[in-house]
Amino acid sequence: MRLKISSATIIVAVFIIAATTTPTTFADAPGKDACLLLTQAQVNDALGVSFGAGTHVTQQFVKTCTWTPTASSKDVKAVTLNIQPGDTFEHGKQQLELANTAAGGGVKITSAAGIGDDAYYITTSPTITNLMFKKGTLAFKVSIYGLPSDKAMAAEKSLALEVISKL
């Protein structure tokens, strides 16, 4: 009888250890929590500006993470990473192209080679450029607010490659 109790105790202990060390929420899985895909140091390095830690809009919505400069910055106002289902990548691109054509232009869509499975930049003004990229079953948007488009594109690509390296 004593052996059965010891075996049962061991089995229960194994289950408890497994349950407390294995990710149990959607947010803990790789590619589900945007703040886990980029570090504060990676954002600092990509932009040459000191940023605070990434934050979520709410604790329950972890697919978007925002980093803001720790001091006033002449150019950069914020950096945002958003995670989306992979099918939104193509649908979004198609809708954007149709809307842009119907409106007579104004939005520049530029292919971005060497980033994930597919990628493109969306430029809507001299200081608003977003990088949309897809890797596997996930799509992402990296946005740097306030930086001139040419500099934003280079920094967004650098951040996107960091994200991809963690998937």
Is residue 9 predicted with pLDDT exceeding 60? no
- How does pLDDT run across 124-145, given as a tens digit for each residue? 888 899 999 999 999 999 999 9
Q: At what angle do helices 40-47 and 149-165 cross, to 10 degrees?
A: 150
Q: Is the pLDDT confidence value at 97 over 70?
A: yes
Give the residue-averaged pLDDT of 61-79. Answer: 92
The residue extents of the domains of the chain are 25-165
Evaluate if residue 112 carries a pLDDT over 90. yes
Q: What is the pLDDT of residue 75?
A: 86
With beta carbons less than 8 A apart as the criterion, state whether 65 and 34 touch.
yes
Mean pLDDT computed over every residue of the chain: 83
**Pick the residue with more confidence: 155 or 58?**
155
Cβ of 31: how many Cβ atoms within 10 Å?
17
pLDDT surpasses 70 at 79:
yes
Confidence of residue 30 (pLDDT cuts 50, 70, 90): low
What is 25-165's CATH topology?
Answer: Protein Transport Mog1p; Chain A (3.40.1000)
Return the top range by mean pLDDT from 7-11, 25-29, 123-127: 123-127
| pLDDT surpassing 70 at residue 19 | no
Determine the pLDDT at residue 31. 64
